[in-house]
Amino acid sequence: MRLDVVTLFPDWFDWFGSQRHVANALAAGHELRTLDLREHTPLSGGQVDDTPFGGGAGMVLRVDVMDAALRAHYGVDPVELRRERRVIALTPGGRLLDDRLVDELAQEPDITLLCGRYEGFDERIVEHFASDAVSIGEYVLAGGELAAMVVCDAVMRKLPGALGHSDSVREESFSAALEGRPEYPHYTRPAEFRGWRVPDVLLSGHHEQIRAWRLQRSRERGATGDE
């Protein structure tokens, strides 16, 4: 998979790219690149944003700046780009990110993430350049970069080779294997600490009973979104 992040803060992603599972995914041939909006702006002084028409606080990322950056990088009209790849605008008003969407994105060969800043994007960016608008939660961040990292993190850990153990992805919170529910609790050594004992069944070696206990605990922990 190739993940491109369009941002005003490309160096934030240096740290992100060094995280173990991301580094593993990159070593396995997946790519994470950044595209600096300021490098491509046609405006003087590195300007990328402007005051909102109609008044109001804050600044809005300009559509001509996003157009120039995408055009320079991909060599196509950005209106066409979303026919070739998922182009995701990160915005609090978008589709809420969940495991289903993460699974869907993990199947894509190419994704571009657009990070807004300040008051966000000129709406024409979302309308004409993006294939999707995605939110990581109903709260407002100062920009889309952390949201882009959340999306990249959740997607990249699903890629083959990112985690040491492929079962960790198959049977985890919200996965189909757990009927979309939160994961069961985990325990490790010591088996007893300050009188707090690990449930006997987990020490029993009865795999079928352990499986049934885990499924039951997962069911107790949460309802799925469909209930």
| Positions in the binding site for ligand ADE (CB under 6 A) | 90-92, 116, 135-137, 139-141, 144, 147
In whole angstroms, how close is the CB of 187 to ligand ADE at the nearest point?
Answer: 34
CB 157 within 8 A of CB 164: no
In whole angstroms, how close is the CB of 157 to ligand ADE at the nearest point?
Answer: 19
CB 125 within 8 A of CB 77: no
Exposure letters 14-24 (e unless 16+ CB within 10 A, then b): eebeeeebbeb
CB 113 within 8 A of CB 74: no
In whole angstroms, how close is the CB of 144 to ligand ADE at the nearest point?
Answer: 4
Q: Which lies closer to ligand ADE via its Cβ, residue 135 or residue 218?
A: 135
Q: Which lies closer to ligand ADE via its Cβ, residue 26 or residue 143?
A: 143
CB 35 within 8 A of CB 111: no
Nearest to 3 by CA among 72, 106, 84, 79: 106
Q: Which lies closer to ligand ADE via its Cβ, residue 90 or residue 152?
A: 90
In whole angstroms, how close is the CB of 113 to ligand ADE at the nearest point?
Answer: 10
Instruction: Report the relative pairing of strands 2-7 and 60-61 from DSSP bridges.
Output: unpaired
In whole angstroms, how close is the CB of 142 to ligand ADE at the nearest point?
Answer: 7
CB 98 within 8 A of CB 225: yes
Q: Which lies closer to ligand ADE via its Cβ, residue 91 or residue 218?
A: 91
Q: Which lies closer to ligand ADE via its Cβ, residue 116 or residue 180?
A: 116
